[in-house]
């Protein structure tokens, strides 16, 4: 999963570590050369003094001239003082990382992230965090430079991916039953299948569920969700096409209350945020049913389109979390990386296959470990 992004992050780690170590080695070589030149100059000065100190004193530059000369050498050398400082640190087992070391690797990382459909503001936040974690202070070589880069990248990714995270199962356990969850999103992204998968996920953890088909707009919607309900042996609440979606889900809640079911999973018609009638339906469901959670479903492979749509749905009818389907087919990972940071709402589940068991709880730490943990 997300193998393309993983490869790009691995390239950044290798390039950044190589660049930092190369600069440190160059600094050490410069310091060695400077020491050798200073020794040679000292020897030459000693020989000159033995042949005639008076002449040497007459020709010697004044203190002001010597200081000016030193300043000029420092200017010509650019960051010669910095190079000596880096060399001294390197000799004692440390590496000092400067902006110039990261300039090229960070530029490449930015291109890699944008090329993986990571949203621009998210890419910038990752770059800023990596830069902040690595610059300035000296770092002990006990932890290799590659480890340093890996840790900086790990922290940067985790900060954007883990936004808003909460323990979904703990939320279900603590809530008054029945818990009502409504699913929203555009057509064709796997919303109904995701409902069936979540029903199975809940069943495996001891929670019973009822399916309620609030998609009364689309022809064939009842048949589609009924197939899932029959395959899973779940109760389905459905009305005829053209019925009131809020009434269907409300009936599902009443059935759950009467039959001690733990969770009501309410489907809704696929819609765009520009579809005023369908958005009005969502608003009515919120008003009539007052769901405990509203989850937005989209395809992981949709990349930045999924991020944009999540933002639009959140603006129109506030969502509480995100489920990304088809994550197993996504090499870029842009939506999974970006969507929580942009919307402030967490990714809660990933759809990872065709089976009812192919729904994985989203774990930001586990994902980041997989992305940057090595080959």
- Angle, helices 3-51 vs 364-372, to 10°: value is 60
Residue 121 near residue 341 (C-beta atoms within 8 A): yes
At 26 the pLDDT is 60
Token output for 88? 């001294």
DSSP string across 108-138: HHHHHHHHTT--HHHHHHHHHHHHHHHSSSE
What architecture is domain 3-161?
Answer: Up-down Bundle (1.20)
Name the superfamily (CATH) of residues 168-363: P-loop containing nucleotide triphosphate hydrolases (3.40.50.300)
- Asked whether the predicted pLDDT for residue 375 surpasses 50, the reply is no
Same fold, 3-161 and 168-363: no
Q: Is the C-alpha dihedral spanning 216, 221, 223, 227 positive or negative?
A: negative
Across the range 125-143, mean pLDDT stands at 74
How is the chain split into domains, by residue range?
Answer: 3-161, 168-363
At 151 the pLDDT is 87
- Asked whether the predicted pLDDT for residue 37 surpasses 90, the reply is no
The average confidence (pLDDT) of the chain is: 82
Q: Which one of 27-41, 134-148, 216-230 scores highest in mean pLDDT?
A: 216-230
Whole-prediction pTM value?
0.80
Where does the pLDDT of residue 226 fall: very low under 50, low under 70, confident under 90, or very high at 90 and above? very high
């Amino acid at each position: 999963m997300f193998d393309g992004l993983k490869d790009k992050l691995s390239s950044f780690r290798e390039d950044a570590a190589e660049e930092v170590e190369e600069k440190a080695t160059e600094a050490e070589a410069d310091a060695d050369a400077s020491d050798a030149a200073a020794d040679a100059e000292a020897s030459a000065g000693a020989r000159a003094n033995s042949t005639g100190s008076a002449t040497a004193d007459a020709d010697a530059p004044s203190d002001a001239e010597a200081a000016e000369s030193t300043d000029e050498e420092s200017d010509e050398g650019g960051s010669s003082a910095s190079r000596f400082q880096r060399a001294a640190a390197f000799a004692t087992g440390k590496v000092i990382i400067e902006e110039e070391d990261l300039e090229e690797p960070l530029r490449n990382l930015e291109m890699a992230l944008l090329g993986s459909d990571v949203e621009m503001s998210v890419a910038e936040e990752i770059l800023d965090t990596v830069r902040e974690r690595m610059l300035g202070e000296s770092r002990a070589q006990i932890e290799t430079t590659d480890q340093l880069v890996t840790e900086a990248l790990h922290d940067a990714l985790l900060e954007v991916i883990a936004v808003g995270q909460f323990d979904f199962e703990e939320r279900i356990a603590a809530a008054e039953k029945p818990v009502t969850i409504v699913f929203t999103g555009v057509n064709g992204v796997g919303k109904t299948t995701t409902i069936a998968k979540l029903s199975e996920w809940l069943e495996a953890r001891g929670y019973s569920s009822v399916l309620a088909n609030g998609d009364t707009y689309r022809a064939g919607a009842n048949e589609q969700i009924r197939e899932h309900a029959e395959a899973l042996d779940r109760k389905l609440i459905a009305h005829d096409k053209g019925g009131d979606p809020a009434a269907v889900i409300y009936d599902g809640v009443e059935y759950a209350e009467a039959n001690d079911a733990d969770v009501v999973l309410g489907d809704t018609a696929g819609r765009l945020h520009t579809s005023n009638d369908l958005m009005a339906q969502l608003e009515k469901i919120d008003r009539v049913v007052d769901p405990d959670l509203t989850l937005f479903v989209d395809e992981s492979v949709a990349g930045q389109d999924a991020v944009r749509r999540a933002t639009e749905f959140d603006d129109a009818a506030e969502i509480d979390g995100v489920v990304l389907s088809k994550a197993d087919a996504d090499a870029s990972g842009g939506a999974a990386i970006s969507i929580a940071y942009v919307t402030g709402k967490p990714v809660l589940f990933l759809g990872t296959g065709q089976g009812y068991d192919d729904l994985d709880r989203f774990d930001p730490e586990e994902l980041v470990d997989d992305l940057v943990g090595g080959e």
